[in-house]
Every structure is written in structure tokens, then in C-alpha cells.
Amino acid sequence: MLRVHCLARVSTCCLSPRAAPRPAISISRTRTTAGRGLRWRAVGSTRGYATSCDKLLFRQLFEKESSTYTYLLADVSHPDKPAVLIDPVDKTVDRDLSLVKELGLKLIYAMNTHVHADHVTGTGLIKGKVPGVKSVISKASNARADFLIKTGEKIHFGDLFLEVRATPGHTQGCVTYVTGDGPSQPQPRMAFTGDALLICGCGRTDFQGGSSLQLYQSVHAQIFTLPKDTLVYPAHDYKGFTVSSVGEELLYNPRFLKDEKTFKSIMENLNLSYPKMIDVAVPANMVCGLQDLSAKPAEAASN
């Protein structure tokens, strides 16, 4: 059963300061060469940079055709080693499940940040290959899934959890998943931003109920209010960058440095081509990637 707990409403102003605030961390953008692990270094340091929580197993995985990142998280301190996959892709399901098996994990949730238009989610295939795995997507997406989540809820896997923050604008149903805040949770925190916030960019806003002003407000209110050392992991990157931070995006993201009016003008004049997969991907992803659209999708459960 999905354990969902309501949080206090996320404020649109800055989060309350800590007694001893952590300094912002600047992350160098190293390029990925594929594979399973993280690839970044703290600026000015030769050692690998990682979170301080030894409970968390984390892998960043890449699908090259759509330049999509899939994220695997697991609580390896728990007897069952429960795990979640965020934004799986249909073309790499076998790779991802092989990794889950190799690491001795128990996959419990296959989650999406939104209804993708550029690839088919792997959620449906995963459910068919691993009995008991539940699909997760936001209620605001109007898609079908086992669990429909809302902002302010927590998704638990073992003793770790992800907080749900609504970040609409790229699509009407976008959410950002953020690792928990607390002594037993990963520090610095990690934000899985989907297409709402990319590394020095953001997702387009010209279809699927998108809104440039809504995206601007969502990112500023729900992501940029996180601690500056929060690590930012997007759903896509087209230049080989793997990770950023809230502090870095506040300083260097060329779109969100602008005011709302300028941001809106930028987004309305991108003149992007129609996504080549949209007519296939969106209908499939509205039922969480079930390949046979005549089949009855899993019953949706509102939380």
C-alpha cells in the first residue's frame, strides 16, 4: 500500500531558515558517458560529491534517443531494500529491471513527473514484468495510474520518502519529487524536477495545458525556495550535463533570471517544432504507458 501523508502547505515564500544554514554548494557540470553512477564533482575538489545519507542507493540512468534521465532510488538499510523508479522509458525497461535485480532491490513504485510527449513511459511494461509494482502520477495530469498523488503528500520507500510538489506550467500535471527533510534523510536534498526545471533551461509551454506564467511561478515558489544546495535532477538534458543545484540555477539559468513578462515573451517565441513522438506518446502515457491501449488500465486511486 502506498503510504501517503499530507504535509503542511508549501509556502510561496522562502522556507523557514535553519538554526545553522548550510552553505550553498556549486556543482561543476561534468558530462556523462553513460552507465549507472553519478558523475559530478564539487568545484575545487578532487573527491566525488555525494549525499550524506548511507541509507540511500541512487542511480542516474540515461536513454539516448529522447535524452531522458531515469532515476533509481532505494532504501538499502531496510530489510526489503524497497526502490522506486522515476520517469522510466519503455526502451530501457529491461536494462533498468536488470539493474534492480542485480542490486537486490524490491521495486515498489514506477513514477512519472508528468505525461511525457517525447517518449513512452516504461511504467506499463514494468507493471507487466514485475507483479506488485504500482504506477504513480499526479491527479492533475488526468492520467490513469494505480495512485494519483497531490502536492504536499509523501511517498515512502522504506524509511525514506519523497515529497510531492506541484510544478505545473510545462504541462498542467507536472510535479517535482523532493527527498525528505530530516536527520535520517539524504542531505543535501535532491529535487527530481521533470521538465519544469532543466539545467540552465526549462520545458516548453505551448501544449498539454502549458502556461509560461504558471511555470515561472511554479519554479520560483516550489523549487527555488528549497535550500540552495539542493541537487537538481531534470528529466532531460541535451548537452550531457547530469546535475545542477538550486543555487546554481538561481544564478545562471538564463530564462528564470528574467522577470515574468520577459520570460513569457521568451517562451512564446521559441518556435519549436512539433514533437515527433507526441501523437504516440501522449495517448500511451495517459494510461501510464500501457502498450495495448484496448486493454483496461489499472484502477486509479485518488489519495
How many domains does the chain divide into? 1
Residue 39 within any structural domain of the chain: no
Residue 158 within any structural domain of the chain: yes
Residue 118 within any structural domain of the chain: yes
More confident residue, 103 or 300: 103
- State yes or no: pLDDT of 13 exceeds 70: no
Residue 43 within any structural domain of the chain: no
3-state secondary structure of 46: coil
Inter-residue long-range contacts of 45-52, CB under 8 Å, 24+ positions, other chains counted = 49/25, 51/186, 51/187, 51/188, 51/190, 51/231, 52/186, 52/187
Residue 86 within any structural domain of the chain: yes
Q: What is the pLDDT of residue 3?
A: 55
Distance CA(170)–CA(141), nearest Å, equals: 11
The answer to whether the Cα torsion of 211, 213, 217, 223 is positive or negative is positive
Which residues is 5 bridged to in the sheet?
none
How would residue 288 be classed by pLDDT, with cut points 50, 70 and 90?
Answer: confident
More confident residue, 296 or 279: 279
Residue 301 within any structural domain of the chain: no
Q: What is the pLDDT of residue 42?
A: 30
How would residue 46 be classed by pLDDT, with cut points 50, 70 and 90?
Answer: very low
Residue 231 within any structural domain of the chain: yes
CATH at residue 224: 3.60.15.10
Q: What is the pLDDT of residue 255?
A: 97
| pLDDT, tens digit (0-9, with 9 covering 90-100), for 146-189 | 999 999 999 999 999 999 999 999 999 999 999 999 989 999 99
The answer to whether the Cα torsion of 108, 185, 193, 199 is positive or negative is negative
Domain around 72: 23-31+54-273
CA distance to 6, 61, 152, 153, 212, per residue, from 9 (Å): 9, 32, 6, 10, 23
How would residue 303 be classed by pLDDT, with cut points 50, 70 and 90?
Answer: very low
Instruction: Average the pLDDT over each of 12-16, 36-40, 242-246 and give the range with the smallest value.
Output: 12-16
Q: In 3D, which of 71, 83, 175 has the Cα closest to residue 132?
A: 83
Which residues is 234 bridged to in the sheet?
194
Distance CA(190)–CA(98), nearest Å, equals: 24
| pLDDT, tens digit (0-9, with 9 covering 90-100), for 68-112 | 999 999 999 999 999 999 999 999 999 999 999 999 999 999 999
Residue 149 within any structural domain of the chain: yes
